[in-house]
Amino acid sequence: MPPVVASPLPAAQPRPRAVAVPRPSRAEAEEAVRTLIRWAGDDPGREGLLGTPDRVVRAFREYFTGYEEDPVALLHRTFEETDGYDEIVMLKDIRFESHCEHHLAPIIGKVHIAYLPKNRVVGISKLARLVDVYAKRLQIQEKMTAQIANTIDEVLQPRGVGVVIEAAHQCMTTRGTHKPGTILVTSRMLGVFRTDPTSRREVLAMVGMPGVAKLDNV
């Protein structure tokens, strides 16, 4: 059997982007951390906190690398040689860490992605990376769910797309209402997964819903 050859799509059209906000200098970012330490009631000049501003700034660059990647370009390399495969493709239990845009508190959970190919498929690692692109931004879960599904639909143009996210929000479990063990579940269904109840049920059955299993290691 001849090797599978990747077939590039036509060049992606640039998407409208949010107005770029000038990024402060590293020194300004570190001073902002010192201000927050003082706001918390401690002394940023004491020995145990001297290196904290540097560590926090480096952590922020790691947490929010998603702003530096283009999700459409990430999915742009696809494969057409599938020997006629026309059933659901699903990648389950894609673990992610994100941050709530309201409190900067962690969101930790899993994403399940399903799509029904029309003419092409994409490498499964690209789906996992797509999750990271959107997760490593300030987020709300509902928006992240829609962003992942809409991007797959736009680039692959499949017959259907389904995205389900299950996540624990530490803005709710460690502050505010203090309700540990709660999990938010969101879904976005497009194409036949939205219009055909049978296809939708098949996707949800493959995910394991209803009766969402408790998240591990959250």
Same domain, 131 and 160: yes
* 12 lies in some domain: no
Domain that holds residue 108: 77-207
Cα–Cα nearest to 144, from 94, 87, 79 = 94
Same domain, 31 and 108: no
As given in the structure block, the two tokens for residue 171 are: 């803005």
DSSP state of 47: G
State residue 43's pLDDT score: 98
Cα–Cα nearest to 206, from 91, 56, 57, 49 = 91
Q: Which residues contact 71 (CB under 8 A, 6 or more apart)?
A: 130, 133, 134, 147, 151
The model's confidence at residue 17, banded by pLDDT at 50, 70 and 90, is: low
Same domain, 44 and 81: no
**Given 166, 169, 170, 202, which residue is catalytic?**
169
**In this model, does residue 10 exceed pLDDT 90?**
no
The model's confidence at residue 180, banded by pLDDT at 50, 70 and 90, is: very high
The HSE-up count of residue 53 (CA atoms within 13 Å, CB side) is 20
Lowest mean pLDDT among 39-43, 169-173, 188-192: 169-173
Q: Which residues contact 8 (CB under 8 A, 6 or more apart)?
A: 76, 77, 78
**Would residue 141 show up in a list of annotated catalytic residues for this protein?**
yes
Cα–Cα nearest to 184, from 201, 198, 167 = 167
Cis bond leading into 44, ω under 30°?
no
**Would residue 100 show up in a list of annotated catalytic residues for this protein?**
yes
Angle, helices 26-40 vs 52-63, to 10°: value is 110
**Would residue 101 show up in a list of annotated catalytic residues for this protein?**
yes
As given in the structure block, the two tokens for residue 150 are: 């809409």
Same domain, 44 and 87: no
**In this model, does residue 45 exceed pLDDT 50?**
yes
pLDDT per residue as tens digits for the range 85-142? 889 999 999 999 999 999 999 999 999 999 999 988 999 999 999 999 999 999 999 9
**Given 69, 100, 154, 157, which residue is catalytic?**
100
**In this model, does residue 60 exceed pLDDT 90?**
yes
pTM of the predicted structure, to 2 decimals: 0.85
* 4 lies in some domain: no
**In this model, does residue 6 exceed pLDDT 50?**
no
Of residues 204 and 77, the one with the higher pLDDT is 204
**In this model, does residue 27 exceed pLDDT 90?**
yes
Mean pLDDT of 2-28: 61
**Given 101, 154, 157, 178, which residue is catalytic?**
101
Same domain, 88 and 180: yes
**Would residue 99 show up in a list of annotated catalytic residues for this protein?**
no
**Given 31, 103, 154, 157, which residue is catalytic?**
103
Beta strands in 106-199 (DSSP E): 106-116, 121-122, 138-139, 160-169, 184-191
Q: Which residues contact 37 (CB under 8 A, 6 or more apart)?
A: 43, 44, 49, 52, 53
**Given 139, 141, 147, 170, which residue is catalytic?**
141
Q: Tell me how far apart the alpha carbons of residues 155 and 120 are, in angstroms, rounded to a whole number.
A: 10
CATH number at residue 89: 3.30.1130.10
State residue 54's pLDDT score: 98
**Given 28, 97, 102, 142, which residue is catalytic?**
102
As given in the structure block, the two tokens for residue 217 are: 């290691």
Domain count, the chain: 2
State residue 55's pLDDT score: 98
